[in-house]
Amino acid sequence: MIDIKINEAPVSRISEVDFSNLAFGKEFSDHMFIADYDGIEWKNFRIQPYGPIPLSPALSCMHYGQAIFEGMKAYRGIDNSIQIFRPYDNLKRMNESAERMCMQPIPEEVYVEGLKAVCRMDEKWIPANEGSALYLRPFLIATDDFLGIHPSRNYMFMIYGCAVGAYYNETLKIKIETEFARAVKGGVGEAKTAGNYASALYATSIAQTEGFHQVLWTDAFEHKYLEELGSSNFFILSGNTLITPAANGTVLKGITRDSVIQLARKLGYKVEERLISIDEVIALNNEGKLDEAFATGTAATVSPICELSYQGVSIHLKHKENSVAGMLKNKLENIKRCKEEDFFGWNEKVMMTQTA
Ligand SMILES: *Cc1c(COP(=O)(O)O)cnc(C)c1O
């Protein structure tokens, strides 16, 4: 057990929040967790009111980008239990990102107890309504104040919470990106590191002015093979087979991606993780065998795609009443809310509560 010092917020902001109409990413909960690494050990575990923190202008993360983050959700079950979805898998990925970016890994107890402390402090911020959750954002930044470039010795690890509703309210219109690239083999595409998102903004904003929600990245060399979307992974369904790009260096290994793969296999679908070329998708569509396409991510959950545009020509996917994407989304949601058995042991219990 780590010893967490608690400084409680004098007033809660929860009464200002309209939980029946939650936007994504604005409603930060009352508290945050912080830990420091001083080059020797993790220490100063604390909960304090959510708010600004003093930082040196020379802070290395702000200049050279040693910054990584994670995202997962805490849910309120129908029995009023509070649980976090797959936090240990999340920690594993965070520490893989840390290794790639030459950063200090986070010990398991600091990570998991920090998450649970935020959930306990801000339990009332965990919504009960369908499609809503408390998004948890752990992040690690390099905090040396030093002008030269080297791996930082000092780090700060923080976790804050944000009450969220649906990330996308519509089916997605996607532009297959063939000019810009997100990741290359040998690069940092597999790490959830801040710079990847800054470098994606330009192509994404062009696509958005063209009326698309997101880009679907392709390989950096030939722009021929599909990779993933801005912050979610990509699947297609053809008959009884789900196909998703293999995660071998340039694709972020989404935990939702993995959950969908495991769940679909259990339900009798065939799942292939392999190269998918644009030509293959077009050919499937021409043969009438492209049944569905969808995106997966913690924020996006399972989001159906209605349009894939390649060099100005669009493939339109019809909305289906009983889509496999919709079924997988519901099953996952039901597991997280304890409406269906958690076969895979994905839910990490935090506490039981009295209130809904
Ligand atoms: C976070 C993220 C995903 C989705 O990962 P989940 O663990 O499912 O939330 C996919 N792609 C990118 C680039 C991401 O940053």
User: Tell me: domain 172-319, CATH 3.40.50.1370, correct?
Assistant: no
| pLDDT for 356 beyond 60 | no
Indicate the residue type of 309.
S
pLDDT-derived band at 169 (thresholds 50, 70, 90) equals confident
Distance 209 CA to ligand 1 centre (A): 23
pLDDT-derived band at 23 (thresholds 50, 70, 90) equals confident
pLDDT reported for residue 24? 85
Decide: 255 in ligand 1 pocket, CB within 6 A: yes
Coil, strand or helix at 87: helix
Q: Considering the chain, what is the average pLDDT of its residues? A: 96
Surface-to-core class of residue 57, CB atoms within 10 Å of its CB (0-12 exposed, 13-18 middle, 19+ buried): exposed
Distance 257 CA to ligand 1 centre (A): 8
pLDDT-derived band at 355 (thresholds 50, 70, 90) equals low
| pLDDT for 314 beyond 90 | yes
CA–CA gap between residue 291 and residue 271 (Å, rounded): 14
Across 18-23, average pLDDT: 90
Decide: 245 in ligand 1 pocket, CB within 6 A: no
Assess contact for 78 and 66: CB atoms under 8 A: no
Assess contact for 127 and 134: CB atoms under 8 A: yes
> Does 5-165+344-352 match 172-319 in CATH topology?
no
Indicate the residue type of 65.
G
**Residue 339 contacts by C-beta under 8 Å, 6 or more apart in sequence?**
77, 78, 333
pLDDT reported for residue 124? 96
What is the DSSP-derived secondary structure letter of residue 192?
Answer: -
CA–CA gap between residue 237 and residue 244 (Å, rounded): 9
Q: Where are the domains of the chain?
A: 5-165+344-352, 172-319
> Of 356 and 215, which is predicted with more confidence?
215
Decide: 285 in ligand 1 pocket, CB within 6 A: no
Across 67-88, average pLDDT: 97
Assess contact for 285 and 313: CB atoms under 8 A: no
Decide: 193 in ligand 1 pocket, CB within 6 A: no
Taking CA atoms, 297 is separated from 47, 260, 302, in Å, by 28, 10, 7
Per-residue model confidence as pLDDT tens digits over 211-262: 999 999 999 999 999 999 989 999 999 999 999 999 999 999 999 999 999 9
Ligand 1 atom nearest the C-alpha of 297 is: 8
**Lowest-pLDDT range, 4-13, 81-90, 235-244, 317-326?**
317-326
Decide: 232 in ligand 1 pocket, CB within 6 A: yes
Assess contact for 60 and 145: CB atoms under 8 A: yes
Report which protein residue has its CA nearest ligand 1's atom 14.
231
* Residue whose entry in the numeric block shows the structure tokens 């997100």: 182
Token reading at 26: 């604005």
Q: If one looks up domain 5-165+344-352 in CATH, what number appears?
A: 3.30.470.10
pLDDT reported for residue 332? 97
Ligand 1 atom nearest the C-alpha of 232 is: 10
